[in-house]
Amino acid sequence: MIDTTAWADFLNDFPSPQGAAVAALLDSDHDLCTCGVVVAEVFQGLRHERKIRSFAELFRELIYLEPSGIDFHFRAAEIYRALRRKGTTIRSTIDCLIAVLAEEHGCAVLSGDRDMATLCRSGLLTTSLWPIQQ
């Protein structure tokens, strides 16, 4: 799953390992997936109609993941609370939702977000960060 931060770097031609990884993944045989909150975040940042249309076509080709039900949301809240008990506060519920969705579907997450890195490295989830070359 490609997170919003990686898409933003790629779409804005920002030179980052995450943006380069998105470009490489788009040219690969890997299954790429997205979810509703990532689509909403990415597309709220697009300003040009031509880009919106062209990237909408691209996003429609990605595997679209949805949560399985209410237990998915309970799991995201559980992860948030467990990290807070350990002294780490995740700044966005959305990151918890994306991480749990990736876990639920057996995906790694490509992200440049420090909270996502914290989530994936916490040991509380079975999902991991997509390996990128620095």
Whether 131 maps to a domain, the answer reads no
Which pLDDT score, from 0 to 100, does residue 19 have? 94
Whether 134 maps to a domain, the answer reads no
Whether 130 maps to a domain, the answer reads no
Structural domain including 14 reads 4-121
Whether 70 maps to a domain, the answer reads yes
Whether 57 maps to a domain, the answer reads yes
Whether 69 maps to a domain, the answer reads yes
Question: How confident is the chain (134 residues) per 10-residue block, as mean pLDDT?
Answer: 95 92 95 96 90 92 96 97 96 96 96 95 95 76
Cα three-residue angle 61-70-128, rounded to 5 degrees: 55
Number of domains in the chain: 1
Rounded CA separation 31/48 (Å): 27
Instruction: Supply the CATH number for residue 41's domain.
Output: 3.40.50.1010
Q: Give buried/exposed letters for 111-125 (b at 16+ CB in 10 A, else e).
A: bbbebbebbbeeebb
Whole-model pTM: value is 0.92
Whether 77 maps to a domain, the answer reads yes
Structure tokens at 25: 């993944």
Which pLDDT score, from 0 to 100, does residue 134 have? 59
Whether 23 maps to a domain, the answer reads yes
Crossing angle of helices 36-44 and 4-11, rounded to 10°: 30
